[in-house]
Amino acid sequence: DLDDDRARNIAVLLSDCERLIVGYFPAISGSALHLYHSIPLLIPRKTALAQIYAGECRAENSVKVFGGVTDSWNACLGTVTAHEGREVCAVDFSPDGRAIVSSGYDKKIRLWDALTCTLLLVLSGHSDWVRSVKYSLDGARVVSAAHDRTVKIWDAISGVLLCTLEGHTNLVFCAVFTPDGRRIVSSSWDHSIKIWDADTGACLMTLTEHQAWVRSIAVSPNGMWMASGSDDMVCLWSLEAPYTCRILLEREHEDLIHSVTFTPDSSTVLTAPWVAGSGQLSIWDAKTAEHLRNLQLPGQPFLSTCSPNFPSAGDKFACGSGNSVLVLDLASGEVRQAFSGHTKDVTCVAYSQDGTRIASGSKDGAVRLWDATQNAVNTPQLENAIKSSDPPSEESADCRLTVFSHDRSRALLVRGNDSIEMYKTDTWECAYKPLSIPSKHRHHVAFSPDDATILAASEGDRGGVALWDAASGALRAQWEGELDVALWSPSFQFASMWSGVLGYMPHCFGGQSSRIMFSPDSR
C-alpha cells in the first residue's frame, strides 16, 4: 500500500545518505559549508538522493567532475590495510553487526567499526601468526588460534586477555565457541581436536580420529554437531559424549584440504576445497551423513573456494575464489554476485547476520567490506560457472585442476578420471576429444608461452610426460618413467623440475605458480 511504498522509499533514501556521509566524511567534516556546492555532483546519478538534489547543482558555482559519475554506489563499502600489509588470515562480524574482528601474519588481532572501518582495538599477545578469530554468540568474547600453539580468549569490548588455553603440541589452525558459549573447539597441526571449558580453560576432551593436520572446524548453530576438515578426511561429529564420528570424505590419491561449515538451520554441512585438485563443493545431511549433492564446476571451475559462510537466511553463502568474493545460491549453485577488488587471493570471508554486508580478507593485506544488497555485476564466465549436479560418475568426473592459456581463450580441465579436456572460454564448449595419460597419480598441465603446445605430466613410478598440439589435440610426443614434479612455494624464488625422464640436467624456472612449465621460447 501507500504507507509501505513510502517506508521503502525512505529506507532507500536513508541508505543513500549513510553511504554519502561515510564515504565523504573527512571532506564533509572539514568543509561543511561547501557541502551543497560539491557533494551533489559526486552522488551516483540513479540513486534516490541524486534525483532529489539534482536541482541544487548549478554550473556557475559548482565543482566540475572529470571522468564521470557512476550510476550506483560502489559495492565496496570500505577498505583498510589491516595487518601492516601482511596476509589477513581470518575475519568475523560481531553478532550485532557493529564490529569486525580480523587477524593476520602480523601476530595481532584488530577490531574495526563495521560502518566506518575505523580501528577500535589492537589485541597483542600471540607470538606467531594468528590463523583464526571468532566471536562468541553473545558478542562478549573473541577466541583466537595461532601458530604459537595457543588458543586465547579476549574480552570483545575492552580487549583484555581473559584466558590462554595450552595443550596443543603444534600450530593451532582454528578455534570456535559452541553456541551456548560454554565450550571452545580447536584444531591443530598435531592432528588433534580439543574441546575446552571456556570459563576455566580446562581441556575436556581430545579427539584423535584424524591422521593429518586439522585445518577447519565448524559447530552447528543448534550445538549438536561438529564438522572437521583435514588433509586426510572430512568428519562429522556428535558434540554429545562419546563424541561419535562419521567420515564424509576420505583421501584417495591427493590431499583433501577442505573447509567446512553448517547451514543456519543445522540440517546440512557444506564442504569446500581450498585448492584445485582437492575436490568440489558438496552438501551433506547433518543427521545421516548422507551425500546430498555436489555444486559441480563444469564450465569455468574455480581454482579454489575458501571460507564459505552463510547469512542467517541460509539460502546462499559467500566464499573466496581467487581474487574475488562470490555469493552462490545454495539450491541451484548459481553465482548470484561476484565482488572484485582484492589484488591477491581472498583467504577469508564472513557474512553479517542480517545478510546485508560481507567482510573479506586477502593475501594483499586488505580487509574489504562489501554491500551484499547490491547486485554486483557478474562476468559472463561466472554466471553459469557452478551448476548443481549428482555425484560424479565414471563418465562425468570432478574437476581437479584448471589452467588457462596465456591469451585466456582456452582452458584445460584435469578430471578425476585422468582425462584432460580443452574448453573454449568464449562459449565453454569442448574443443576436441579429451586427452589422457594412463596413470592413477597426480597430474599437472601447462600451456607453452605461445599457447601452441600443451604439456602434461603425471607423477609417480609409472608417470609420464606428453606434448599435444593445442589447436588440434594431436599427440606430438610422449615419454614414460619415474617422475617427480616439484611444488612451487611463494617462499622460494625458483622451482626445480625433473631430470629422470628426459635425461636433462635439472632446470630451474623463475617464480611462476604453475608446477610444470615451458622455457620462454616454448622449445
Domain range 76-295, its CATH number among 2.40.240.20, 2.130.10.10, 3.40.50.300, 3.40.50.11390: 2.130.10.10
Strands (E), 220-341: 225-230, 233-238, 245-250, 258-262, 268-273, 281-285, 291-296, 306-309, 316-321, 324-329, 335-340
Boundaries of CATH 2.130.10.10 in the chain? 76-295, 394-510
Condensed to tens digits (0 to 9), the pLDDT of residues 77-101 reads: 888 888 998 999 999 999 999 999 9
Q: Which of 15-19, 94-98, 214-218, 283-287 has the lowest mean pLDDT?
A: 15-19
pLDDT of residue 146: 97
Output the pLDDT for position 507. 29
- Can you give the pLDDT at residue 303? 45
Q: Please count the other Cβ atoms lying within 10 Å of the Cβ belonging to residue 161.
A: 15
Q: Which residues contact 87 (CB under 8 A, 6 or more apart)?
A: 104, 105, 347, 362, 363, 365
| Predicted confidence (pLDDT) per residue in 370-405, tens digit | 999 876 544 434 433 333 333 333 344 455 667 778
pLDDT of residue 177: 97
Question: What's the mean pLDDT when you consider all of the chain?
Answer: 79
- How much of the chain exceeds pLDDT 90, in percent? 37
| Joined grid coordinates for residue 117 | 572501518
Pick the more confident residue, 51 or 188: 188
pLDDT in the model for residue 490: 31
Separation CA 83–CA 448 (nearest Å): 38
Given this model, what pLDDT does residue 455 score?
Answer: 85
Region 128-147: mean pLDDT is 97
Q: Cis before residue 242, ω within 30 degrees of 0?
A: yes
Going by C-alpha positions, the residue among 177, 116, 191 that lies closest to residue 144 is 177
Residue 65, pLDDT above cutoff 70: no
Q: What is the rounded average pLDDT of the residues 200-207? A: 95
pLDDT band at 184 (very low <50, low <70, confident <90, very high): very high
Residue 252 predicted with pLDDT over 60: yes
Superfamily of domain 394-510: YVTN repeat-like/Quinoprotein amine dehydrogenase (2.130.10.10)
Highest mean pLDDT among 5-19, 74-88, 188-202, 508-522: 188-202
Residues 156-166 have pLDDT tens digits of: 999 999 999 99
Say whether pLDDT at 155 is over 80: yes
Q: Pick the residue with more confidence: 246 or 276?
A: 246
CA 416/CA 443 separation, integer angstroms: 10
Strand partners for 362:
346
Residue 296's Cβ-count burial label (10 Å; 0-12, 13-18, 19+) is buried
How many Cα neighbours within 13 Å face the side chain of 347?
A: 21
Residue type, 400: R
pLDDT tens-place string over residues 442-496: 667 888 878 888 888 776 656 678 888 888 888 888 877 655 443 333 332 333 3
Residue 430 — pLDDT band, cuts 50, 70, 90?
confident
Residue with more model confidence, 463 or 227 = 227
